[in-house]
Amino acid sequence: MSAKSTSLSSPAQDASAGQDEVLAPSNLVAFAGRMWAVLFLIALIVFFSITAPGFFDLFNFQAVGANMAVLLVLGLGQTFVIISAGIDLSTGFVMGLSSVASAIVMQALTGYPLPVIILLGLMTTLFIGLAAGAVNGVLVAYMRVPPFIATLGTLSVAEGVAYVLSGGPPVSISTRGLGFFGNGFLAYFHPEAGLSFLAMPSGVTGTAVRDVLGFFPLQVVYIVILASFCGWLLGSTRFGRHVYAVGGNPKAASRAGIPLAWTLFKIYVLCAVSASLAGFLYVLRFNGGVANAGDALMLSSVAAIAIGGASMLGGQGRILGTVVGALVIAVIQNGLVILGIDPFWQYVAVGAVIIMAVLVDQAKGRFFP
């Protein structure tokens, strides 16, 4: 009886104990460890807002969002691969190949209606992504080739085909109106002409165009749609649960009846399609494609995933974390440019943040398992 009585407590005592537990320093440290990327992003925004004139501005923030679009889309599919304890090295050149192939097709269709040109360019992009993803998926999932080796081979093939198709130089597109889909805005406002959507306010010509304000870049609209879809796919579907299971404990997942090979195949197809869509966004933004369009972005996309809290050992990660990681990289790049710092220091800054992300991840695993 006395033993039982020692374990009983009043509701008030339970509430007080719960509050003390929430406010305990260890819990605050654990919270900071989980949310460090968000806190670091806020700190970066505050720092550059103070030191970089013009940084804290609505239109600069819109530019940051538009500039990170390709990087984020490249990282969305890679997030699934990282969570499954794999890696896809081919995404950068799959992006470049899809940009070149779609640019060639769209340039050949010059004179056709713009919707037809865009649709066929998009279909070309998706075909490239599906083909590359199928090759990676078969090699990794069914032939048991290590992801590093399999995707390294696909990288070389995609790079070679992209340079053969383009001949080396960028492939430009002269189709009128295409640039709007890569650099336009969802809404426009002019002090006299008022508000309009998806087009300049009517009657605004000449020097009055300079007074038109654009809101919600279409590139941001695209990534909101794609990130929302990937977030739903990873967090609310059976496929998403299988991705976590495969990355966390493949043997247990197999015993639970999860089709490991088929799940891995779909993951690598999804990653390649995501990379090809990044290539298509590149074409829309720059009116052309280039073979090495995603060469430097591949590692940056993995960095965004690591900064966002995904474990490189698999089984852990979120799409929202990848979005935050991409924002961190984009804010660093934008802030350093405004400060007039040599662009090469961007690589140093991003590398330092990657090391910080790894250290934080190790600290979380050691002190807060």
Q: Which letter does DSSP use for residue 110 in this model?
A: B
Neighbours of 74 (CB within 10 A): 30
pLDDT in tens, 226-276: 999 999 999 999 999 999 999 988 889 888 889 999 999 999 999 999 999
Q: Where are the domains of the chain?
A: 54-202+209-367
pLDDT at 337 over 80: yes
pLDDT above 80 (res 361): no
For residue 296, what pLDDT is reported? 83
Q: For residues 284 and 293, give the distance between their C-alpha atoms in angstroms, rounded to a whole number.
A: 13
Average pLDDT across the chain, whole number: 86
Buried b (16+ CB within 10 A) or exposed e, 142-151: eeeeebeebb
Tokens representing 347 are 């690589």
d(CA 265, CA 240): 14
Band (342; pLDDT cuts 50, 70, 90): confident
Tens of pLDDT along 60-87? 999 999 999 999 999 999 999 999 999 9
Lowest mean pLDDT among 114-123, 144-153, 292-301, 357-366: 357-366
CA angle 40, 42, 46 (to 5 degrees): 115
Q: Please say if the pLDDT value at position 6 is more than 80.
A: no
DSSP 54-87: T-SSHHHHHHHHHHTHHHHHHHHHHHHHHHTT--
Question: What pLDDT, on a 0 to 100 scale, did the predictor assign at position 25?
Answer: 55
What's the pTM value of the predicted model, to 2 decimals? 0.87
Model confidence at 309, pLDDT cuts 50, 70, 90, reads confident
Q: Residue 3 above 70 pLDDT?
A: no
pLDDT on residue 92:
92
Domain 54-202+209-367 has CATH 1.10.1740: no
